Amino acid sequence: MVGKHKVIIESKSIVYELEIKRNITIIKGDSGRGKSLLVDLIVRYNREKRNAERGKKNGRSVSITCDKECFGYRQFDNDSRSWSDILREHTDCIIFLDETCWFLNTTEFASFVKHSDNYYVLITRENLKGLPYSVSEIYEMYSYKSYDGIIEKHKTGIKNLYSDCSVFSGYSVKPDLIITEDEGSGHDFFESVCIWKKNGVKCISARGKDKIVSRIVPVDGQKTVIIADGAAYGSQMEDTMESMRACGGYTLYLPESFEYLIIRSGIVAEVIENYEDIVYHTYDYADSGKYFSWERYFTDLLTKKTIDTEWKYGKNRLNSIYKLVRNMRAILESITGIDFDR
């Protein structure tokens, strides 16, 4: 599935309005915010729709407006079939699951999502380590009252729990240390920038997103910037932010991916002509049936488009053309909030 899809779920007393644009959307929050009711209404809508198709005239208490099928599932729905058999019946669909679904944090479910063309809205307070979901797609619910002159209704929407994938400090920082997620091309680039700038900034790798939190330790007077792929860092955010608040001196920069930064800079425009539309409307290009995350989409796009050119890109080792000063400068111009000059 591709695209950005608006979902409106309405009952007699409440309206939910959501916009879904990636294969994995997470909704968090405390009890009493209406998260479980959201799935209940979709389950009820599906049941009433089936009854109507069978000729039962019990009326409709819930309506759903969306250009895609919406399906809700709760584990205690007394269905003798397995969750995978039930979900497998739905394709090109937006599937809503809540915390009654014990399987959300299993490798089996992660594999199921990876090989599915659906979008999934997961209502859970857990950090789902097996799923590469975006920091930008973690939400919490908010509510307000609406009155149309006849009926007062509660309207509920979703808002980002964290900021968009950018620097989370609100001001420009001059780092003493840069920690990158991996040892590949992204680390090679930022290390090369520090050498070019002769700024004395050390650049090290955490050797994986799961190890970033362990790198966050109190260091008096040191300013550290952590750079990771925001498109797949969602499950690490809660622990990362907690450690940053406890230690101080850390700033988080989360572009979609390093490949995204290269494409957005325009330096490969000769091989990716519509790069601006791709960057700003990625949801129209990154097919959930092919790509587990947008990070994988950008990597695949850059790798395939440059394979027979001087811009040939490899994720493990950075082509020297990207380390030419003019190209490093172009990529840095798309990065705000980090001052690499000393």
SS (H, E, C) 157-177: EEEECCCCCCCCCCCCECCCE
Which pLDDT value is given to residue 286? 98
Q: What pLDDT, in 10s, does the model give residues 11-21?
A: 988 999 999 99
Helices (H), 12-128: 35-53, 83-88, 107-114
- CA-based nearest residue to 241, from 97, 98, 28: 28
CB of 268 within 8 A of CB of 298?
no
Which pLDDT value is given to residue 165? 47
Percentage above 90 pLDDT, the chain? 76
DSSP letter assigned to residue 118: S
Work out the mean pLDDT of the chain and round it to a whole number. Answer: 91
Query: In CATH, what class is 5-160?
Result: alpha beta
CB of 43 within 8 A of CB of 9?
no
Higher pLDDT, 177 or 75: 177
At 152, the pLDDT band (50, 70, 90 cuts) reads low
Residue 337 has pLDDT above 60, yes or no: yes
Q: Break the chain into its structural domains and give their ranges.
A: 5-160, 177-333
At 145, the pLDDT band (50, 70, 90 cuts) reads confident
Q: What pLDDT, in 10s, does the model give residues 205-232?
A: 999 999 999 999 999 889 999 999 999 9
Beta bridge partners of 256: none
